[in-house]
Structure 1
């Protein structure tokens, strides 16, 4: 198979694979409508969701991470590598950097000194 065919099939598979956990989140967690509600409601609903909800979020995360190699494959083509190699590689690296979780961002948002408490 040619590289374009494989990349195209991967894009189709990723589109289908991304919608499966999204549908699970929509039915289990009222996603994305839950994002417009107070944080306390979202956290209560998350706590009530149990393991199926956690698995849906893990599937959603894995589908998002699967976009990194696909974006790299789309950014680095033989024509782009020949014409502008630094631009092709830079686009792929910057796309991967944006998608990769950074611990400093996670630590800033989830500090143990500021535990979540339900407002009274």
Structure 2
């Protein structure tokens, strides 16, 4: 009975190891996430993130590069996480760039309004 119990225990451990190993390697290549991250970076660049948010844009680009290395090593799960972070970083860089440009435009409009007010006052 003792021998039977130990064989059953060994079989259980082996079964659990196979299941855990299968779960760990079941992640798919994050090709879609890679495309999404690269697209987000391109959009951030189009929003002038290189000028207004270079650090955040560089972080996103570095995470994509790191994720590509992890994909080559078939570490898809960690690569996917990095790509999600890169996407968020790039989107944030683009949004901050757009915000900065909008603030600058508002400041320019306010300067123009003030200039017009002064001209009107000087004519009266």
| TM, length-normalised to structure 1 | 0.32
Larger Rg: 2
Relative contact order higher in (CA < 8 Å, ≥ 6 apart): 2
Structure with more helix by fraction: 2
